[in-house]
Structure 1
Amino acid sequence: MRTVLARLGALTALLAVVGLLPWLSRNDPALTVLRAKSAEQEATPEALDAIRADLGLDAGPLALLGRWAAGLLHGDFGTSWVSGYPVGPAVASGLGTSLTLMACALAVATLLAAALCARTVWRGARGTLGDDRPGGAVGAILVACPDFLLATIGLIVVGVWLGWLPTSGWTGPANLVLPAAAMGVPAGAMLGRLVGDALPGAFDERWVALWRSAGVTERRIALGVLRRALPAVMPQFGMVVVAVTGGAVAVETIFAVPGIGRTALGAAKSQDLPLLQGSVLALMCLGLTAGALGHLARRAMLGSGLRDAALRPPPPPRAPSGPGQYVVPVSLAAILAVVVVWGLLRDPLTVEVTEKLLQPSPTHPLGTDALGRDVLARLGHGAAHTVGAAVAVCAFGFALSLALGFAPRVSAGVADIANAVPPVLAGVLVAAALGPGTAGAAIAVALVSWPNLTAHAAALTQEARAASYLTAQRALGASPRWITIRHVLPEVAGPLARHAALRLPGTALAIASLGFLGLGTQPPTPEWGLLLDESRAYVEVAPAAALAPAAAIACLAALAVSSANLTRLPRRKAVFA
């Protein structure tokens, strides 16, 4: 009951934030409406006061929130401040387009996941499954590709250079291919990885050997193992759908698809807050519905007999130990470090219009951009902003998780809601309230990145408190405070700090995605996501300079996946959440 109440409270607070966006925004909504109605009209105090009265902004936050909530109950999403048309039809139209695109993306994801797991299922049913990692290197590479990077590369290579598919618009089935692939490939690789990790443990269970000795066919064994492995990972399927929902914002923007994600981003940039409220509400409903359907599907697959049982997922295959496990992450980190340090020694802001779009040379190792600025310098200084913000986010997550780990019930329901909000959606909300910028992007990622660390901290705390030597300390009269500070806290802080450090590349990648959408660092300050967005305009003229940010982000994504794999290694008795 506490968890349910916490979820309802967190959801209510999130809805309140959406409803209060006009009041929370640092920009004057009255000025936005005035500029939309007449760009030439002077912004006099009288005119602005009249608009505020018409919008109900002068009645206070509670009245504003109440009027918005009452309108929702009657199906009224308000009126767009920019176009003057009702928000409801625009949201419905964008939602229909996005649902079509997401359905195709999930179909691509399902087919890819099945292909990645097929070899494991076949070998496991025949009893010849070895210790190789399900999905192999192909799955790891595909997981490392963020959707906005795949969309950009697909648009450049398949759409522009080869001319096989349209690069923008929404006029026919051909327009679905590139966006659906960009969204579906990372999701399918993640689904394949989740299922593939659960399959070897299920094949090693005793009942499989019993079935095989009884002469049960390989097909029935494979179906039985899938039935055993899928329910335990089914809730994670909902989180993959949440990731697809967040990816729709970037992919729809890149391919100019008139979906709800592109609508939300455009509304945030133009400060059309009623349209943004309706779009964000639709995206939130998609994410929450996906999570609920994942839990319902798990219950249906378990059946009434096992529904209330504590059915845990089969143990994943043990990651290889030894120094070889560090080769990939160390190599990637070394490459990025060389590029960053080399770039930091150069000037990223000097404009030389006579040297624009130059090819790589000894003077400019990665060429120059459209303003003649050195690309290597901008990559190096951009990493300082991207990684610096990521370090701050990871430090915040470590401190918050360390505190919440001693009171897991406090965050149980709130974590579920935070997990259902993609970083891009949080970035849209923060940008609407605070404006785009590096600080806003860091805040947005920090708001939704703490649940995994908190779950890990809670598990470590529970394990440390159950140690037998602490029972002896209590029997000797040690106070709970002394035990916590002297024994439990050191046991938890070390592994949690390593986990937070390993999340640094993934956090930097999330911040770069917000920069790519224009919600993070603003020009002329360099930032990796922003550099990738700027480079798309001149990719045909200077491909080396344009693809340099893409290569850097790809290395960062691969480093994020490699670092995540290290969290699978056993450290003492702790299990990473």
Structure 2
Amino acid sequence: MRRGAAGLVWRAVLAGGLVCGIGLLPWLAHTDPARTVLKARSADRDPTPEALADVRDQLGLDDGPLTLLGRWFAGLVRGDAGHSWISGAPVLPDVLRALGVSLLLMAVALAVAAATAAVVCARTLRLGARRALDGRPAGGAASAVLAALPEFLTASVLATVVGVHLGWLPALGWYGPRWTVLPALALGLPAGAVLGRLLDDLLPGAFAEPWARAAAARGVPGRRVARQAVRRCLPGLLPNLGLFAVGLTGGAVAVEQIHDIPGLGRTTLQAALAQDLPVLQAGTLAMLLLAAASTGLCRAAARLLAGPALRDGALPTLHRHPPSAPSGRPLLLGAVLLAVVAAGLPRDPLALDTGDRLRPPSPQHPFGTDALGRDLLARIGHGALDTLLLATGIGAACLCLGLLLGFLPRLSTPLVDTVNAVPPVLGALLVTAVAGGGPATPALAVTAVAWAPLAAHTAALLRQERATLHLTATRALGASRSHLLRYELLPAVLPSVTRHALLRLPGIALALASLGFLGLGARPPAPEWGLLLAENQPYAERAPWAVLAPAAVLALLGALAVTAAGGTRLPRPIRANAAARERRGEPVRAV
């Protein structure tokens, strides 16, 4: 009871602090909210002193930010979230309407994600125990690429190819069931591929457990064993599923922008850009409440599925399967990526030729040209260094931070729920307001939100590993905490979380570029990969190669990261040597 009450208090403090920080955003960033609001209301109106004074008087800005915050919280207690500073309409109905749109989109996207995860794991489920013993690599190249593609990239390709060129489904608007298909696919396909890869990583350990072997020996149908294996692995995945659900609702800003969907993420982003504080505060609070409810339900379901074994320390471990067989695929993909970068470096990425605007691929320009006639191969080659180094550095920092906080679940769990509810763009605005602009701002903003899924994954795996039989026995024999951490917990948790971090590496690269739209990240004419995609998207219908070239490079980076992660394992000399001696019939020395 005390832990639950402390967790609720900690969540309330974090949520209140975040909402208050948003309410102080213009003053922290040293901007004039009256000028921003006036520009949002009428871009053609001159910001004369009289007009700005009129806006300040209407909104009560002269009373100060703390007074405005107090009034907003007082109205919230009465069920009134205030009125929009831009339109003057009541905030609560608009936010609830946007939340309903996002929840519907989330439900359809989760169905797509579940179907995608089932396809990714189909081979492992079909092979069953044989897959657990032969050490074959998980998944395939297609799932590796799909898992690594960010939603923004998938939405762009689907809108361009399926919506515009083929005309099979509507690409813009929100008017009925047919309008949900493309955005749901854009959100659900990458999320389902990531969840499928994470599940596929745990299934061999479940099939190697004694109950699965006994069931196979007794002739139990493979489908029943597969269903129980999935049920056995779900407790370690459900916390991440809750994070995905929140991300599909509030964090899908780019997809809602591309498909012109009036969802909660887009509403919050527009309010942040216009500094419409009542709408921004109400939207953020809605995302925080949704995050708390979603992750709470997923954690309760995980405890229910694990049953009393989690409490009694009677679970078998899921991390005893052997390393994946070595594969030459990462070397091949790495060679292709290196060849592309090497071919682009001798070319000039900034050379303009307006006579060669949007030229298709040719011997002179193998990847074509962009809207200013610049060679795309040159821009991709020169943008590789900044993109890869910065994304890799952020990924490593997020991995270390996620592991550290994952081992402190009482501290990190409420923090993960709060951080995951904040869209990266809003996080960037908060970081800029506190730390100021500069080259480090994009890295700080992405790092501030990208560690949360890794911490949740670490905490979920750690919770199960601490309840395993071998750890209970080792602890009973007098093993110290440092011994358990070094030889049992870290070898069980670190490989899976490292593979998860590599899955998210290309998404980090594109998240950095997406901040360029707000002037917080890479700016033109920088040849950053994600920025190339963003710059050329308006010309996707006339020149699809301008979008597909950087998209293909990002997909190649994702495939390389995921396939290289397939063999990520840590040596566990004590347990491995003990198992070998046990198979040879030699005595095993207790730890």
TM-score (norm 1): 0.79
Residues 391 and 504, structure 1, Cα contact 8 Å, conserved in 2? no
Matches within 5 A, 1:136-285: 136-213=140-217, 216=220, 218-245=222-249, 248-285=252-289
CA shift for structure 1 position 328: 3.5
Aligned to 1:553: 554
Which moved further from structure 2: 15-24 or 162-171? 15-24
Aligned-partner SS, 2:566: helix
CA shift for structure 1 position 352: 2.5
One-letter amino acid matched to 2:106: M
Matches within 5 A, 1:79-90: 79-90=83-94
CA shift for structure 1 position 295: 0.6
One-letter amino acid matched to 2:147: V
Residues 265 and 423, structure 2, Cα contact 8 Å, conserved in 1? no
Q: Percent identity?
A: 48
Alpha carbons of 1:83 and 1:422: their partners in 2 closer, same or farther (altered >3 Å)? closer
Aligned to 2:526: 525
Alpha carbons of 1:120 and 1:28: their partners in 2 closer, same or farther (altered >3 Å)? same
One-letter amino acid matched to 2:548: L
Alignment length, in residue pairs?
543
Aligned-partner SS, 1:308: helix
Q: Aligned partners of 1:201, 1:139: CA distance in 2, in Å?
A: 20
1:510 aligns with 2:513: no
Q: Aligned partners of 2:506, 2:169: CA distance in 1, in Å?
A: 31
Residues 173 and 260, structure 2, Cα contact 8 Å, conserved in 1? yes
Deviations 1:364-394 (A, max 9, x none): 3322211222222332343344335435535
CA shift for structure 1 position 238: 1.4
Matches within 5 A, 1:346-361: 346-361=347-362
CA shift for structure 1 position 445: 1.0
Q: Aligned partners of 2:284, 2:406: CA distance in 1, in Å?
A: 30
Alpha carbons of 1:40 and 1:249: their partners in 2 closer, same or farther (altered >3 Å)? closer
Q: Aligned partners of 1:292, 1:247: CA distance in 2, in Å?
A: 18
Alpha carbons of 1:264 and 1:452: their partners in 2 closer, same or farther (altered >3 Å)? closer
1:569 aligns with 2:573: no
Aligned-partner SS, 2:36: helix
One-letter amino acid matched to 1:560: A
One-letter amino acid matched to 2:570: P
Alpha carbons of 1:346 and 1:560: their partners in 2 closer, same or farther (altered >3 Å)? same
Residues 107 and 184, structure 1, Cα contact 8 Å, conserved in 2? yes
Aligned-partner SS, 2:555: helix
Q: Aligned partners of 1:431, 1:52: CA distance in 2, in Å?
A: 24
Alpha carbons of 1:545 and 1:415: their partners in 2 closer, same or farther (altered >3 Å)? closer
Alpha carbons of 1:334 and 1:70: their partners in 2 closer, same or farther (altered >3 Å)? farther
Matches within 5 A, 1:398-437: 413-415=414-416, 417-419=418-420, 421=422, 423=424, 426-427=427-428, 429-430=430-431
Aligned-partner SS, 1:360: coil
Aligned to 1:372: 373
1:318 aligns with 2:304: no
CA shift for structure 1 position 221: 3.6
Alpha carbons of 1:306 and 1:28: their partners in 2 closer, same or farther (altered >3 Å)? same
Residues 160 and 540, structure 2, Cα contact 8 Å, conserved in 1? yes
Aligned to 1:67: 71
Root mean square deviation, CA, Å: 4.3
Residues 401 and 454, structure 1, Cα contact 8 Å, conserved in 2? yes
Q: Aligned partners of 1:286, 1:197: CA distance in 2, in Å?
A: 29
CA shift for structure 1 position 38: 4.8
Aligned to 2:444: 443
1:17 aligns with 2:21: yes
Q: Aligned partners of 2:225, 2:404: CA distance in 1, in Å?
A: 45
Alpha carbons of 1:135 and 1:309: their partners in 2 closer, same or farther (altered >3 Å)? farther
Q: Aligned partners of 1:573, 1:283: CA distance in 2, in Å?
A: 45
Residues 133 and 208, structure 2, Cα contact 8 Å, conserved in 1? no
Deviations 1:408-459 (A, max 9, x none): 8765653554355554553465478789986443221111234577799999
Aligned-partner SS, 1:232: helix
Aligned to 1:467: none
TM-score (norm 2): 0.77
Alpha carbons of 1:397 and 1:298: their partners in 2 closer, same or farther (altered >3 Å)? closer
Alpha carbons of 1:127 and 1:317: their partners in 2 closer, same or farther (altered >3 Å)? closer
One-letter amino acid matched to 1:283: M
Residues 156 and 539, structure 1, Cα contact 8 Å, conserved in 2? yes
Q: Aligned partners of 2:154, 2:338: CA distance in 1, in Å?
A: 24
Deviations 1:11-67 (A, max 9, x none): 443333233223333432110122344555543446535534543444444334333
Alpha carbons of 1:552 and 1:62: their partners in 2 closer, same or farther (altered >3 Å)? same
Q: Aligned partners of 2:502, 2:215: CA distance in 1, in Å?
A: 45
Residues 19 and 69, structure 1, Cα contact 8 Å, conserved in 2? no
Alpha carbons of 1:432 and 1:238: their partners in 2 closer, same or farther (altered >3 Å)? same
- Please, which runs of 5 or more residues in structure 1 have no aligned partner? 464-473, 475-482
CA shift for structure 1 position 151: 1.4
Alpha carbons of 1:329 and 1:100: their partners in 2 closer, same or farther (altered >3 Å)? same
Residues 503 and 563, structure 1, Cα contact 8 Å, conserved in 2? no
